[in-house]
Structure 1
Amino acid sequence: MSRGVLCGTRRLPGRRRHRRRRHPRSRPHRPRAGGVRPLRRAVIAAACAAAVGLAPAARAGKGRQTGRIEGTVEIDGGDPAIGATVTVTGDALVSGAESALTDHRGHFLVLDLPPGRYDVSVDAPGIGRAYAFDVDVDVGRTTRVALRVVPEATETIVIEGTRPPIDTTRSALSDNLDEDFFRNLPVDRRSFDGLLQTLPGAGAGPLGFTTFRGGSWIDNQILIDGINYSDPLTNSIFSRFDFHSLAAVEVMSGGAEADYGEAMGGVVNMVTKSGGNTHELGLRTSFIPEELTAAHPGQEASSQYELNVNARGPIVKNALTYFSSATYEVDFLPLPQIEGVEVADGRLTNTALGFTKFDWQPRKRHKVTLHLSGFWEDRQNDEVEEIALAEAQTRTQSGGVTSGLSYKWFGQRGFVEASTGLYFHDQSSFPMSEDYETPAVVDQDTGIVSGNGNDLLHLRNLRWQVQTSGTRFVDTGWGEHELKAGVELAAMAVVFEQAFPGNEIVYTAGGPCDPEQGVFDGCDFAERTGRQLDDGTLEPGAFAKHIQGLKAGLYARDSWQLGRVRLNGGWRVDLGRIYGGGDRLAAFNGWLGPRLGVIWDVTGRGSTVVRASAGRTYQTGMLGLPLFFGESLRRDAYAFNPATGQFDTYLAQRSTGGDTGGRLDGTAKPPPRSDEVSLSIEQALLPALSARLTGIYRLQSHIYSSVESNLVWNETGSAVIGFRDGMPRARFVLDTDEDYFREYAAVELALRGHVSRTGFVMASYTLSRLYGTSELDEITDTQFVIPYVINNPRQRQFLYGPLESDRRHVVKLGFTYAYPKWNAVFGSIFRYSSGAPYSRLYYNSFLNGYFDRRAPRGIDPGNLNDPTDDRELRGDAIVDWDLFGSWRVPWRGSADDLAIEVAVFNLLNRDAATAVEQRNVPTFGQPLQRQRPLRVSVGLSVRY
């Protein structure tokens, strides 16, 4: 977030002004001049001249947690001030001031500065001193400061500068959010994904996970304080994180440098809060009672409660600090009600979150950081992807921990980083009834699940990450270079256990089926479930699978400043291996990973910047792949026999794996990849406000697909007429062919920065198109972890079309405005997204699921005999407007210690459907989930 940069006084961003004073205004904590000349003869002189602006430049390393201050010191007349001492001070520097010496060009660089505001002083022996006050530093950015020392100065010249809003060195499409901005935004449920989805190019995928610029929800990399904690099962994030522990968020949604692998969508780096040299205790509580909720017709009112306690301070002053936070949440989300169907009222979630961080800096050149986080969550009535009666609902309990340790060493011309992190996640799903013997009943005509919950699942995920890198600064006659090389290693494991209550699922055909009561009208068939044994028999009970994986990434890059042009080039190699049962199941080798970025500062002043980038990113496997290949849960179908009143007439095997499915053979497969090009032009409109026009194209190909390979279809593809291996079963193989792709093209206009001294705006409009043949978002409809492909001509012709994240028009407007006179802050977020496509999926009797299509994606074929009545299927447009207000009440002599907060979510009380029934059942097209209704949150924040 941009702020003013100032020499000699504090002011908020505004118009550049020049003032002259005979005596500088003194401040108790500012250093005073001394030495060979009196203060009034050689003090702050022309500090923060036109080049005092802050321009983000070279970065501080992979998964940056800090920023830098870089600049030049000149003597009046233009000569460099050689050997001058530059000192940086600020509250965020626990170990005290940082300093550096200027070189033969008058250049200096101060590394590893936590996000915050700093003062810079220059002492040029025998010449004089200069100061720059209130210099902002952001995560991953370099703040440029140009200072001029005037010998024999007799007065102070105070020039108020503002921060140039344009990044003159980064080719990546990146955005930074700091706590000063997002704490004043109405982020619903204070969720991490809710915060990310305020950014340009970000959207909401299945289960609420964030997607970036045409990527899927499994295409992101999640870093906490620079350490990769992406979940090994799906390459995403499943663990909850304490929102109140965030200090800043850095997001790269395109053009990422070679430091970052596996991210075909975006890179998200969460920077957490640290302690300080003073003890602080904070308390925040908020609640949304039913009385402040406008429930949608036929639904219960939602409610939410949250309590957070946090503390920070020194353990050893100037050396060892701590920060700790704990949060407890209760959330009730009503479920859409369907006439004549007794579904559950809503989902009730209880969540506990915790985070602790220690920072230790025993010496200036050494820094050690340790962080620990954990969560526990209980979700009742968790089945929202199917129409389930209250008696058939599911309960999910999950918990997890992350821990990370990092070390940094700083030299004169570079630094070394090393870190390691551990991620563990545990999740269990079971019937709300806790009845493990009664099977669930699925009505194939209506799609309604009754009788009991149909899921027994236990999942444990583990990831151990080790990464190290070295950075070297080299100054040649052909410009300045920042050279960097690094290596990343990850060891992963997943334990997957699955069963069904009663080891059976009963399927009916529009009528009741209860053989024990002598009711047989609707009895159709049942699927017996269990583990596939070596002799081909079925053992009832739970199926368990143990999967392991290894990943390695190596990279090297150079950031070369050559006049007004900067070249960011690099190369990356990513390798992945998946193992199970002692055998190698899959291998992915991404050898060709070039990255190139060009940045042209057209004017040399940072007012007009052109960026271009191109590159390839690989994804080298996820441990969810083998769950439906190789040994798995077998499901045998038995028809109902009226003579015996039992399901004892064998039909076929319907398993998605095991001997009834294709095994992973361990051979190397082409890894999924994303080829991307982007071009952007950014123009400064005000001293701290810029507009950016961006064009981006992405082609994601060789996407994981689960392709059925054993069934022989008739010429029209409407019926199975044989089996390639002679066995009546489906066989699935993992395919990463170029036929399975996603193609994204977009033009985006974004506005970001200060519109006044206390007003900040972030707005964007995105026009995009997302088409393809592989829809990772479909897992919520088909229950497959990767896209499901029926390999027959009739179905393959319908693969291509608009994908479920294809929202053509997206508008976002977020801003905050402070009223210092009233100690008040106002914030707002407005979002508009045009409707997303959906499809009509037809029942496949052999596979016992709604997998078939009768028209391309996004098209309803209507009457199958009338091609003229086809129509496009798109859901509701999403309009959401949220407001936030905070009033800081003077308490204990300060207006920063007590605040009353009010937030209004969904001010327009829109109830658009966010998910609809896509199966060809009577409830087709009806909402499965809706926008939350209007809600008012009231909160109190106290700091002592």
Structure 2
Amino acid sequence: MNKRHLRPSLLALAITASLSMGLNTALAANNDGAIRGTVSLADRGSTNGVTLRVENPATGFSRTLAADADGNFRFPYLPVGRYRISAHKDGLQDVQLSDVEVTVGNATVVSLVLGEDLEHIEVTGSSIRSIDTSTSETALNISAAELARLPMARNAESVALLAPGTVEGSRFGGISFGGSSVGENAVFINGLNITDVETGVDFSTVPFAFYDQFQVKTGGYSVEFGRTTGGVINAVVKSGTNDFHFGAETFWEPEDLRADVNNTYNREGTRLINGDDDQYGSWSADITASGAIIQDKLFFFALYEPRNIDRQSGNSDGSAINDGNDDSAFWGGKLDWQISDDHSLSLLAFSDDREEVTDRSVNGQYLETNYTKHGGKNWALTYTGYLTDDLTAKVLWGKTKSRYASDSTTSMECARVRDYRDGSGSDIGCTSVSLTDSRTNSREALRLDFEYALGDHLLRFGLDNETRTTEMNRRTPGPDQTYYELEAINPGDTINGAVVQGDSYVYARTRSTLGSFDTDTSAYYLEDIWSVTDNLTLSLGLRWDEFDTKAADGQSFLKVDDMLAPRFGLSWDLFGDGESKFYANLGRYYFPIANGLAAREGGGTLDEIRYFELAGLDSNSTSGGLTNITPVLGSQLGDTVTFGAAGSGRDDINQVVDKDLDPIYQDELILGFEQMLSDNWKGGVRGIYRHFNNAIEDMKINVDVAGCGNISGWVFGNPGKTLTLDRQCDDGSTRQIDIDLGQAQDYDLDGNPIGAQEVERKYYALELTLDRQWDSVWSANFSYTWSHSYGNYEGGVNSDTGNDIPGWTEAGDNVVYINSGWGNLPNDRRHAFKARGAWAFAEHWTLGSTFSLVSGRPINARGHGNPYNENTRYDLNYLCVANCDADSNADREFIYLKKGMYGTTSWLPKLDLSLRYDNQWQGADYYVGLSVFNLLDSQQDTDVGEIVVNGVSTPNPNFLATTGTQEPRYIQLSAGIQF
């Protein structure tokens, strides 16, 4: 029968099957998706005996299952790709949907209707409903094909920044999700966590061509995900199919087409950013091959990326030039083995090892070569089993490894000396290396994930275990293993509690660490996805976590267990037509301390800071013929400040670590609404509230305990809460004591106790979105986010001071620091406008654009000294304004420097454009492209000097001077071919 002769009602049934598809959170393992839906009969008869079959034509994968009594079905754990799904019942003709797309982290929802006495009906070119009516999770899903239409910096961070509620970190890079610090996120590739275990800020570097799809989770994610109070980047790499493909593409960023970097100066005219000597150029190529080793059974995908990066920079006065080159290569691949329709194995492996070699010259003469190494080898093996129609399982076992090493040809014989007396921080010694460093961070991961369908309930459960290891071998370079900074100060000013007699002082730091430090993280989760009605879905989940960080000798150092994280989600299809939804999500998320704290305080560490009068400079020749300039140290100023434990472990753990640590966690509430405005347009609004609670920090205490005398020194616990330790008391016995830090952590100038406030961060946001999906001609996306991040604790890092070691920030070092630190936090960017779109304006031609306009962050000015105690070492939120030459803070007059008192940094506009030409040649697909980043060459300030004074009252010439700016305009040329 000719299809044009089908009765209108029958054709309508097929069209309905096509148009009733939608996206729903898969709530499955990290690197796949699902297809679920309903099948019914045209005569409303029983669905008993109806079977569903899903097939991937590209790989030959297929699976068949039976619909339940209500016609519901679900195909979980499907690799991302395009599928064909068909329904069958004896006596009726099959109905089939083709081109059904499965995306990472989502479930595609379909509705199929079987008619009586019909010929085979096939619907192609299926349409995806944009409203996801059965999930409360908020996430951005985007494929490599979509990203190819946009001007994109080729990294995962640039993808994350497309999502509402994300902003770029100012001090360390990285991404802030929902007001969080840049050290609180998690990044996954094919289910393998590749986030750095030492600080949590970085993650493995993978070429863009390796990725197939991205999902950026910004809130409300299920109990399957944990150990993050920020966001999740969830990516999937490409896979092979039955068809062999070979391709190559190249990307070139020429230095000659890059805009000049603007110079910046402090108020005394000293140059801080030397744009005149700044140069950058890069080239890379991606060579890929994929196909079947055994048809329908065994597939491969492989990528090799050679690259060459040249960069040059100069110090502030241009006397020293650093000329660096990185010609490392990336390799990676994936094997997929479909053992049977019910069992499969996948192996992912890649290496992001890289090394940059930098030659440094001073006044035109070669001085040294610096070597910096990053990255390592990573792999994951994943098993997927369809055990029954209702029970499926996934097992992942993997390892990650990332190394950071830095050394120099001069590090053995030269000390690093930096001169800040004019504000520039120029190196005057014969090395530019602060530490000879060798750190290896690794992870061994084991995940078991299960799904069991039980009527209207989808039960999900599993375990998520990781062992995180940091190996440290580092020391301060030079013959005396000490790093020096020279600072200007007014005679009579105070630093580190001592009066300086001259006009300069020396900051001297000696550091060494040798040891291996592990953290065992264990988690179990259970979740019930309950379809209460056809229009209402509830998600009820519970996650149990435990974190156990070890010292160098292997004994438990910081341990927190029995962390129960409930999650509740609601999604309501308001009118039952899939055109609108209301959703809500309420959940708790726990965050483990990264390994960085234990690696510095868990044994094997010597870390001393001393202050001296500057008595002059000494010049001497090294054995290698270099001129080593070091400060002549005068009298020491104040006491030596010591961190860490120099032994092979910590034999005093019960005396310094809280025996009843409270966990770090965040509570989140999201309310949202989405509405289809037309066939292609949808709009949405979302309100978010996040409340970050508690911290685990190293803290300095000085308290008197009845019967035990004075307890002072460095301890590890929760700021502002009760500290439980074992201590020896006056009668010689060792007993457990409780110290309420909220009542007393130190004493004020009059001898009265000062209690510490608890740490807190609050985030409020309202997000508005408007989206038009791609229809082969054009697409567009707009978002506006108003947000406010407020509190006294940024999170895992401290951008105000440049400290990226979680738990080792300044929050607990002095009670005044946390008590006075209230206000707008470093990631508080009140307004963020974002837009992106693509337009196929002519055959073969596509124009793409991304735009963002983000308001500035608060300028959090700080001074030295405070009106509560004698501390003059830390940069606190107080500024001396009278009697500053007095010998004691008690006799000085201070004003409080509220965060943001000096305003904010500049708004950051950024407009990127791309032009791409696609065509075919000799049966191959090829393209050429041009992308212009920061078209308007906006170089607004991203960082300014925030320290008002050196010492108590000596003006800092760098205060409010620009110390960081936007990257200048640059151009990327690209071309590729695929056979």
The one of 35, 48, 71 equivalent to 2:15 is 48
Seen in structure 2, the aligned counterparts of structure 1 residues 932 and 351 have a Cα distance that, compared at 3 Å, is: farther
Match of 2:444 in 1: 464
The one of 443, 462, 474 equivalent to 1:486 is 462
Aligned-partner Cα distance in 2 for 1:243–1:572: 33
Deviations 1:692-712 (A, max 9, x none): 100010000102333332599
The one of 801, 809, 819 equivalent to 1:781 is 801
Aligned-partner Cα distance in 1 for 2:703–2:643: 13
1:326 equivalent in alignment to 2:299: no
Match of 2:292 in 1: 314
Contact residue 616 and residue 675 of structure 1 kept, 8 A: yes
The one of 819, 826, 835 equivalent to 1:804 is 826
SS at match of 2:330: strand
Deviations 1:514-537 (A, max 9, x none): xxxxxx99774463625xxxxxxx
Contact residue 299 and residue 337 of structure 2 kept, 8 A: yes
Seen in structure 2, the aligned counterparts of structure 1 residues 217 and 154 have a Cα distance that, compared at 3 Å, is: closer
Opposite residue 837 of structure 1, the aligned amino acid is P
Aligned-partner Cα distance in 2 for 1:242–1:403: 16
Contact residue 772 and residue 802 of structure 1 kept, 8 A: yes
Contact residue 186 and residue 904 of structure 1 kept, 8 A: yes
Match of 2:909 in 1: 879
SS at match of 1:303: strand
Opposite residue 857 of structure 2, the aligned amino acid is A
Match of 1:550 in 2: 520
Aligned-partner Cα distance in 2 for 1:768–1:643: 51
Contact residue 476 and residue 482 of structure 2 kept, 8 A: yes
SS at match of 1:778: coil
Match of 1:909 in 2: 937
1:108 equivalent in alignment to 2:73: yes
Q: Percent identity?
A: 22
Match of 1:647 in 2: 633
Opposite residue 55 of structure 1, the aligned amino acid is G
Deviation at 1:192, TM superposition (A): 1.2
Deviation larger for 82-91 or 456-465? 82-91
Aligned-partner Cα distance in 2 for 1:898–1:157: 32
SS at match of 2:132: coil
Match of 1:421 in 2: 398
The one of 16, 22, 30 equivalent to 2:5 is 22
Aligned-partner Cα distance in 2 for 1:812–1:774: 27
Match of 2:168 in 1: 204
Opposite residue 572 of structure 1, the aligned amino acid is R
| Mapping 1:321-400, distance limit 5 Å | 321-332=299-310, 338=316, 340=317, 342=319, 344=321, 349-379=326-356, 396-400=372-376
Match of 1:620 in 2: 592
SS at match of 2:586: strand
Seen in structure 2, the aligned counterparts of structure 1 residues 588 and 158 have a Cα distance that, compared at 3 Å, is: closer
Match of 1:437 in 2: 414
Q: What RMSD over aligned residues (CA atoms) do the two structures have, in Å? A: 3.6
1:689 equivalent in alignment to 2:674: no
Opposite residue 163 of structure 1, the aligned amino acid is I
The one of 438, 447, 454 equivalent to 1:474 is 454
1:892 equivalent in alignment to 2:863: no
Contact residue 139 and residue 248 of structure 1 kept, 8 A: yes
Contact residue 508 and residue 522 of structure 1 kept, 8 A: no
| Mapping 1:509-548, distance limit 5 Å | 509-510=487-488, 524-525=505-506, 527=508, 529=510, 542-548=512-518
Aligned-partner Cα distance in 2 for 1:500–1:296: 32
Seen in structure 2, the aligned counterparts of structure 1 residues 158 and 474 have a Cα distance that, compared at 3 Å, is: closer
SS at match of 2:577: coil
Contact residue 48 and residue 67 of structure 2 kept, 8 A: yes
Deviation larger for 45-54 or 394-403? 45-54
Aligned-partner Cα distance in 1 for 2:915–2:977: 16
Contact residue 48 and residue 160 of structure 1 kept, 8 A: no
Contact residue 831 and residue 880 of structure 1 kept, 8 A: yes
Deviation at 1:615, TM superposition (A): 1.1
SS at match of 1:486: strand
Aligned-partner Cα distance in 2 for 1:696–1:867: 31
| Mapping 1:122-271, distance limit 5 Å | 122-153=87-118, 162-188=127-153, 190-205=154-169, 206-271=171-236
Opposite residue 876 of structure 2, the aligned amino acid is D
SS at match of 1:363: coil
Contact residue 798 and residue 855 of structure 1 kept, 8 A: no
Aligned-partner Cα distance in 1 for 2:669–2:115: 47
Deviation at 1:458, TM superposition (A): 1.6
Opposite residue 887 of structure 1, the aligned amino acid is Y
Contact residue 701 and residue 711 of structure 2 kept, 8 A: no
SS at match of 1:240: coil
Seen in structure 2, the aligned counterparts of structure 1 residues 843 and 331 have a Cα distance that, compared at 3 Å, is: farther
Seen in structure 2, the aligned counterparts of structure 1 residues 160 and 374 have a Cα distance that, compared at 3 Å, is: closer
Match of 2:32 in 1: 66
Match of 2:876 in 1: 852
Deviation at 1:593, TM superposition (A): 1.0
Match of 1:927 in 2: 962
Opposite residue 633 of structure 2, the aligned amino acid is F
Deviation larger for 616-625 or 827-836? 616-625
Deviation at 1:434, TM superposition (A): 4.7
Deviation at 1:826, TM superposition (A): 2.2
Deviation at 1:469, TM superposition (A): 2.1
Seen in structure 2, the aligned counterparts of structure 1 residues 620 and 61 have a Cα distance that, compared at 3 Å, is: same
TM-score, normalised by the number of residues in structure 1: 0.83
The one of 694, 698, 706 equivalent to 1:702 is 694
The one of 436, 457, 471 equivalent to 1:495 is 471
Paired positions, count: 857
1:759 equivalent in alignment to 2:791: no
The one of 644, 660, 664 equivalent to 1:657 is 644
Aligned-partner Cα distance in 1 for 2:444–2:235: 18
SS at match of 2:522: strand
Contact residue 43 and residue 129 of structure 1 kept, 8 A: no
Match of 1:84 in 2: 50
Aligned-partner Cα distance in 2 for 1:796–1:154: 74
Aligned-partner Cα distance in 1 for 2:312–2:616: 44
Deviation at 1:69, TM superposition (A): 2.3
The one of 440, 455, 458 equivalent to 2:435 is 455
SS at match of 2:22: coil
Deviation at 1:573, TM superposition (A): 0.8
1:741 equivalent in alignment to 2:760: yes
Contact residue 816 and residue 826 of structure 1 kept, 8 A: yes
Seen in structure 2, the aligned counterparts of structure 1 residues 509 and 112 have a Cα distance that, compared at 3 Å, is: closer
Deviation at 1:448, TM superposition (A): 1.1
Contact residue 390 and residue 454 of structure 2 kept, 8 A: yes
Aligned-partner Cα distance in 2 for 1:328–1:381: 19
Aligned-partner Cα distance in 1 for 2:105–2:415: 55
Opposite residue 450 of structure 2, the aligned amino acid is G
Contact residue 70 and residue 143 of structure 1 kept, 8 A: yes
Aligned-partner Cα distance in 1 for 2:95–2:4: 15
1:570 equivalent in alignment to 2:541: yes
Seen in structure 2, the aligned counterparts of structure 1 residues 695 and 445 have a Cα distance that, compared at 3 Å, is: same
Aligned-partner Cα distance in 1 for 2:938–2:367: 30
Contact residue 52 and residue 147 of structure 1 kept, 8 A: no
TM-score, normalised by the number of residues in structure 2: 0.81
Deviations 1:372-423 (A, max 9, x none): 011123346799xxxxx99899753212121101111102112011111101
Q: Which runs of 5+ in 2 are unaligned?
A: 264-274, 490-500, 619-631, 722-757, 881-891, 949-955
Contact residue 707 and residue 732 of structure 1 kept, 8 A: yes
Deviation larger for 209-218 or 364-373? 209-218
Deviation at 1:84, TM superposition (A): 3.4
Aligned-partner Cα distance in 1 for 2:504–2:581: 69
